[in-house]
Each structure stands twice: as C-alpha cells, then as structure tokens.
A and B are shown apart, each in its own frame.
Chain A
Amino acid sequence: MRCFVGIDLGSTTTKAVVVDESTRVLGRGITNSRSNYDTAAAVSKQEALIDARFTLFRRGLSAVPALAGRIDSFLGDLERAFRHVQYLGQLDDLEATCMRNRGGLRFAGSEKALARTLGEVFRELRAESAALFAPGAKRRSDFFRDIAGSRFMALADPVCRAEGLSFDLVLNVYDKSIIEVENRPPAGADQGKFLQALENTLAAAGTAIPAGEVARAVRAALEIPLEEAYVVGTGYGRVRLPFPKEHIRSEILCHGLGAHVMYPDTRTVLDIGGQDTKAIQVDPEGIVENFQMNDRCAAGTGRYLGYVADEMKMGLHELGPMALTAQKTLRINSTCTVFAGAEIRDRLALGDRREDILAGLHRAIVLRAMSIISRSGGIRDQFTFTGGVAKNEAAVRELRKLVKENYGEVTININPESIYTGALGAAVFAQRAVAA
C-alpha cells in the first residue's frame, strides 16, 4: 500500500507520522534528535513504519474470531517481544563497536582484560534483557541510548572491579561506541525481527492462543508492502533533511494543518514546544491565516519549565503535579527565564511554599502564551493546544482559566498524541503533494 510520511525535526525530539491514501494515521514514531538530524529522521521514520506494521497486524487479527477481546493484550505481548528482539540486535551492534574501539594507545596492555570485561557485561545485559521487556516492566525511556546506558553503568561497575580494571576506561570505550551506534542509520525493521517476535510470543502463550490462525494473519499483514510514496519534513532541522526543497514545509503550516486534521473545527492553535511558542490562526480548511511566535526570548516555552525544574532541583515532570497542589498562586512578574530564577530564590527565601511558587510560574508561562495568541488575532472556537507543555496539567489548568476569562466558553482540544501534530500535518502535505 502507498503511504505518506511526515517528519518533524524538533530541538528535543524528532517525530514521524505515516498516513495512508485517505490520510488515516497508520503509525507514529519518535526519537531523540541527537546532534545528527539525518539519523534522527531515519530512526523516527523507521519507528513510525514499525508502528504502522502493528496497525496492519491489528487489522489482520480483527478477522480472527478466536482472538476476539484479546487483540490488545496479544499485540502488547508481540510489541514487547519485538522491542526485545530489536534491543538484542542493537546490543550486538554496540558490543561489536565496543570491541573495535578498545584498540589504541590509551588501552595498551589492557586489551585482553577489556575484551573479557566487555564480553561479560554484554552477556549480563542480554541475560537480564527479557526482564526489561516483561509485561508491566517500567522503563524510564524507550530510547536505546537511555536503556542501554543506564544498564551498562549498573552492570559494568562490579565486573570491572572483579577484573581489576578501571571503570573509567570501560566507560570511555562505551561513550565512544554509543555515539557511533546511535548515529548509524538503523539496521532496519526487517521481517525477520517481526517473525522472531511472533515466534517468541506464540511460544510464551502456549495453547491459549490459536497459533496457526494468528501466525497466518500476522504473516499476511507482513506481506503488505509499505510503499513510501512521498515524504515531507518540517521543524527547525528541516534544512538538514536529505531531500529536496519541495519536500520541506514550515512547521507553522504543518502545525496548523495537523491540528485541523485532528480537530476539523479548529480555528486557533497554540503550540508550546521546547524552544518556541506559536499561535496560529487557521481557516475552516486548515489553511494558515496568521501566526505569531516568541521572538529573541525563550520565556514562556518548554525550556522555561526545564530551567525552573533545574533551579528547584526537581524533575521536569514533577513540576505540574506539584503546582496542582498549590493553595494559592503567587505572582511571578518576570517574563525573563533567568530573572524568574532570581524571583524563585527570593520567594523561597521569604518562606513561600514551592507549590505556590510553581503555580505562579505556570500562570506566568501561560500569560506569555496568551499575549502571543492575542497578537495573532485572539482565540476563536475551537482552540487546540499542542506541544510538550500540553501534557502539563498545571499549565492546562491555567490556560483553561485564562481562556475562559478572556474569551468566554471555547472548546479546548488537547490530544494525547499532540506531540505529533507537526508530523501529522507534514504527512498530510505529503499525501496532498501526490494527490494534487
């Protein structure tokens, strides 16, 4: 089947969306942007195509009556098995790279000890890997770099000690190698990995699953070719995308169209991302009429909250929940991120509660956004809020309040997949480019 891909190269993450000819979403993929946009684009696209494959599995399996009511859990198992197979493949690559990187003057005399140590660490990494992908296992991140990195550190330390080898030396090899592995175009989501995952899943399920029928349906879905008809790129890294200019759209247009596709009655879009805040007005067809962005200053963007989290020695995701427990909203005047840091310290010194300060900071960020929105022409019904900050409940609560105060009753749309808005818009542009 023909499919159309949109890739949004953000400052923090790179997102990809695959749609079919009727612009229905087949799959979504996300990866960290790294310093290498080419790889980030390739990885996110591959992730979206893997996700698309799972959509096809779902369609195929819905025709298997014996699996009725159990498709979700089966697909969950299959996906975990697939991620595990994928993880093992990446570990192989990482190990081979580490082995290559242990040469050189620095390591003279330690080559053999290093080889033994690395061999042991990777053996342990493989041995414990099944648990990482077991049902209900919590992973802090789904990115290979994060999972492999934290486990490598944990396992290498005792092995080094046993071998009498400096941990720093091993770490040095690892650091060099992970960058190479991460910046290598991914090995591919070949059929073999899916089939291996299928086999593992069916074996684990035993007789509970009608293995023959399920395998037939999954194999049939795997046979459907995903033909990449057109790719459109957007986001700050778009000029780095390895395709011609006609395949590149501004993120303003992509966000506008993406929001329109998600909610066709959208007329105003607010996107608060890592480094910028955009207010976009669209017409009933999703065509951009006007836009405003923050300029020269990152106050009121996701980075602002990141800075505040550092300032308060908290995790970014802890800010919203804590702000929700505030008893009052303190007034934070600074529109400057750095000055807000000074205000925070001042408030803390005066004995104000962190919760109340945080509530004030969330209000400050939303006030900034409200100003950008009003410069773009204000809020019209319906209003769609996207970007990383849309996941922050304290920010959403302040936004709802301020929208009501300033614009009255307005439908506010917040999609759990809103981080993909720009990529979705790009994918729809890709479909239109071929359809036109």
Chain B
Amino acid sequence: MTTKTQGSRSAAAQAAEVVKEASMLKQKEMIARNYDLLTGAPETGRKVASTFVPGNLNELIMCFDLLNNLPEINAIQNGMRKVSGDYINEAEKRGHSEDVCTYVKADLGMMARGNLAPNGKPLPKPDVLLLSYTGCFTFMKWFELVRDEYKCPTVMLHVPYQGDGRTTENMRSYIVKQLREEVIPTLERVSGVKFDIDRLREYLRESARAEDDFVWVLESAKHKPSPIDAYFGGVYYIGPIFTAFRGTPDATEYYRLLRGEIQERIARGLGPVTPEGDMKDQRYRLVVEGPPNWTSFREFWKMFYDDGAVVVASSYTKVGGTYDLGFRHDPEHPLETLADYCLGCYTNRSLPQRVELLEKYVREYDADGLLINSIKSCNSFSAGQLMIMREIERRTGKPAAFIETDLVDPRYFSPANVKNRLESYFQMIDQKRRSVASAA
C-alpha cells in the first residue's frame, strides 16, 4: 500500500525511471496531490479524518468533504524512505516498548518529530479519528494515543470478528446501526456537512468500477508467465483502492490504465516490471502470506526476482478488502455494503478462513508453494501462522516455508538469514519437483 514515487531514491529506483508506465505516473501524481491537500488543509480550511486501511470508509468520508489521512500509509512511506528507524527510536524513548507494532511507533515518533509528510510539510491535526476496528486490537490502542495527543473527536466503528468463519445478518445490522447512530452523526457534526445518501451511492458506483479492473489485475497472475508480481508489485496496485482514492474517477482511471498495461504485457509474454527492468525467467510461483518488509523492500524483492521467484497471490493485498472473493461495493444498499466490506477484510477473517483462502490461491494460481513472511511486531497477522503453514502443506502437498522480518523496524531485517532461508526454500521446491518427476 504505497507508491513508487516517494520510495527511496536508490540507483535501482533511478533505473526504474526508464520503465515507468502511465499507471505508475498516475499513481505518483495522485498520492503527491493527496499529501499536498493534507498539508495544505490549514490554509484551505479543509477538514481531515484519520482512519485505517482495513475498514477504510473512504466513500463515506468523502461525503463530508473530509480529507483522508491514513497513519499506516504514513508509516509505510517512512519505512521506504528509511526514516522509520529514527521515529521508532523516538517512540521508544517516550516509553513505547520494543514489542509494540512498529507502524504505531513509527507514527508516534513521526508526530513527535514534527509530523512531516513526504512533501516535507507538516501534516495537519486531524479533526476526527474514525476508528474502524477490523481484526486488529492494536488499532484501538493506537487511536487512544493519537486522541490523547490531539484531543479530537473519535468515533469507533466496531466490526465483529468472523470467529465462526461467517458473517450474519446480525453483524451486518449491528454495523449499519453504528453507522446511522454514531459514525454519520459524528462526521456531520465535525464537518458541518449534511449526509446525502445519494452522494454516497455515486461514490460507491465509482468504487465498483475500479474494483472490477482491480480484480482483473490480481487474477492476471494466473497466466504463465505471470505478468505481475502480486506481492511486491501488488502493494503498489492496491495503493489507490485501499487508501484515499476509492470511489474517485482517479482510481477508476488508474485501474483502467493498469489493466491496459498488463493486457499488453500478457500479449507480449512479458513478466512483471521490477526495479531492474522486466523479470525474465519465472522458475517459482509462490503464494505469500503476511505483510512485506518495508525498510529493505527493494533488497527483499531482489532476493525473489534474482532467483526467478514470482509471487502470484498474496494475502496482504486483501487487507483492505477481499474483492477477488466477489465482493463489490453496491450502490443499491449503501450502508449495508459498507458493513459487508468491513466484515470481509482479510484480518477480520478467522484462521480456518485464512487457510481456505490460501489453499484456494495455491490451487487456482498453480503455485509451487506457500511462503509466510512472519512479522515480529504484528500479532494480528502472526498468531496462528505455523498452523496455517502446516495446513497448507497437508492440504496441497506443496512445500511451505517461514521467514521472519518486520514492517518498518530496520533492526529486524537480517538479509543473510532471510536470503539463506529463501534459497533453501527455492531449492526445496526444485528437489520436490525432481522427486515428483522421478516418481511419475
């Protein structure tokens, strides 16, 4: 969930300039514009809501002319720009333990150091915190701390966890009731704008358009060779739809452009674009569970494409919605569709559901196996991952492997260990293939 634009300006990034496609430029421009709108808010008088990616109600936020600021995205930006380490130190100095989610610490550290956006200007104080509580308990503690800092109104949308592996009508009406009675009135009060359900319907209609193309993009990885990397490239592709652009014509246009580019890649038999140009041979097709590491993102990615490993599906690209399971925002049922969207986010799903989804990916994308990138400071992702790994191995007969890194704490990316494990895993896949071939 970020953009190439504000990433580190390494030599590889410079090299990437030559292959920048229209969609990349479009996203770069969109994100820069949003940061300019946010940092310009004190002058323009625009009001700002802060919220999270899982359960991001962007269409609703736009109904109140609010700007959308996403602290997770800021933390990722800071990770890729290699400033998160300092921010984390700052937060630890202020008493936040080493074990706390590093997104939280990077965000709090950033606030303590002047809250500068990637454009170098300070981010404004939020006018409201919209806490969509979807599967991550830390979100609640995070906004408690932010609220304490800014003393601004906070509204919580409690999304029931899919503990039994399904959603019920009760859950849905519970969320709709909160939207009607808590969320919408709070946003009206903060913004001074009256809620207009037809305006919401318009945005939702626009969302659904982009969602169709987005799903097409994700599923293009079923092709061989895959024209995309659904993890390292995927985190760019989810950018607009997971953040401040869902429901805007910009997002629709972005996915239209992206789809066209990928269609072209398929027609020409090309693999994904990497920071070092088109990926050539694809020897391993992987499904990846868990967020990527952001502080060494390019180094991490290189370990994959250098060995011919392409990720064909990932769970991380579902944290802001599981559109590939069929969900689309539905303008006919505007509040209910927001409820369904929140309920369906990946982190709100039970372990058996996650296993099922990953199993489906291994089969449908004809993957060679599952790789888990376990995040040291993220309990909501990491709990149960060993069980997930075992189950996928058992159900698919494909080899799985486990590596450990972190989100934005540079101290927890150990390149030699990660590379060693990845190489072992790739060779395990080779070995497995040979043994299957000789048994046949």
- Specify whether A and B are partners: yes
- Stretch among B20-28, B175-183, B423-431 lining the A interface: B423-431
Q: Does A252 contact B (CB under 8 A)?
A: yes
- Quick one: CB contact mask for A132-143 with B, threshold 8 Å, 1 for yes? 000000000000
A295 CA / B423 CA spacing, docked (Å): 16
Contact yes or no, A295 B414, CB < 8 A? yes
Contact yes or no, B427 A253, CB < 8 A? yes
Complex: chain A residue closest to B404, CB-CB = A295
Residues of B382-427 whose CB lies within 8 A of A: 386, 389-390, 393, 399-402, 404, 412, 414, 416-417, 420-421, 423-424, 427
CB distance from B325 to the nearest CB of A (A): 29
Residues of B close to A293: CB separation below 8 A: 417, 420-421
Q: Which of these, A236, A287, A295, contacts B432 with CB under 8 Å?
A: A287
Complex: chain A residue closest to B426, CB-CB = A250
A285 CA / B404 CA spacing, docked (Å): 28
Q: Does B435 contact A (CB under 8 A)?
A: yes
Contact yes or no, A252 B417, CB < 8 A? no
A232 CA / B384 CA spacing, docked (Å): 37
CB distance from A190 to the nearest CB of B (A): 37
A253 CA / B427 CA spacing, docked (Å): 8
A296 CA / B416 CA spacing, docked (Å): 10
Contact yes or no, B424 A375, CB < 8 A? no
Contact yes or no, A296 B414, CB < 8 A? yes
Number of residues from A at the complex interface, CB < 8 A: 19
Contact yes or no, B435 A292, CB < 8 A? no
Q: Does A377 contact B (CB under 8 A)?
A: yes
- Quick one: CB contact mask for A279-290 with B, threshold 8 Å, 1 for yes? 000010101111
A434 CA / B399 CA spacing, docked (Å): 26
Q: Does A267 contact B (CB under 8 A)?
A: no
Contact yes or no, B412 A253, CB < 8 A? no
Residues of B close to A288: CB separation below 8 A: 399, 424, 428, 431
Interface bracket on B = 20 to 34
Residues of B close to A375: CB separation below 8 A: 386, 402
A249 CA / B420 CA spacing, docked (Å): 10
Contact yes or no, A289 B393, CB < 8 A? yes
Complex: chain B residue closest to A281, CB-CB = B393
Complex: chain B residue closest to A257, CB-CB = B431
Residues of B close to A249: CB separation below 8 A: 427
A377 CA / B389 CA spacing, docked (Å): 10
Contact yes or no, A296 B404, CB < 8 A? yes
Q: Does A420 contact B (CB under 8 A)?
A: no
CB distance from A296 to the nearest CB of B (A): 6
Contact yes or no, A253 B404, CB < 8 A? no
Residues of A close to B390: CB separation below 8 A: 377
User: Which of A236, A295, A377 has most B Cβ within 10 Å?
Assistant: A295
A159 CA / B431 CA spacing, docked (Å): 60
A323 CA / B262 CA spacing, docked (Å): 64
A242 CA / B416 CA spacing, docked (Å): 19
Contact yes or no, B414 A252, CB < 8 A? no
CB distance from B67 to the nearest CB of A (A): 39
Q: Which of these, B393, B400, B417, B435, contacts A295 with CB under 8 Å?
A: B417
A236 CA / B420 CA spacing, docked (Å): 8
Q: Does A385 contact B (CB under 8 A)?
A: no
Knowing A250-B423, A252-B424, A295-B414, the reply to whether A285 touches B435 (Cβ < 8 A) is yes
User: Which of B400, B412, B431, B435 has most A Cβ within 10 Å?
Assistant: B431
Knowing A250-B420, A292-B402, A293-B421, the reply to whether A287 touches B414 (Cβ < 8 A) is no
Contact yes or no, A287 B417, CB < 8 A? no
Contact yes or no, B424 A290, CB < 8 A? no
A291 CA / B432 CA spacing, docked (Å): 14
Residues of A close to B420: CB separation below 8 A: 236, 250-251, 293
Contact yes or no, A296 B417, CB < 8 A? yes
CB distance from A300 to the nearest CB of B (A): 15
Residues of B186-213 whose CB lies within 8 A of A: none
Knowing A290-B400, A292-B402, A295-B404, the reply to whether A253 touches B431 (Cβ < 8 A) is yes
CB distance from B15 to the nearest CB of A (A): 23
Residues of A close to B389: CB separation below 8 A: 290
Contact yes or no, B424 A250, CB < 8 A? yes
Residues of A that sit less than 8 Å from B by CB: 236, 249-253, 283, 285, 287-293, 295-296, 375, 377
A-B contact pairs, 29 of them (CB 8 A): A236-B420, A249-B427, A250-B423, A250-B427, A251-B424, A252-B427, A252-B428, A253-B427, A283-B435, A287-B432, A287-B435, A288-B399, A288-B428, A288-B431, A289-B393, A289-B399, A290-B393, A290-B399, A290-B400, A290-B401, A291-B401, A291-B428, A292-B402, A293-B420, A295-B414, A295-B417, A296-B404, A375-B386, A377-B390
- Top 5 closest pairs, chain A to chain B, by CB: A250-B424, A252-B424, A295-B404, A288-B428, A250-B423
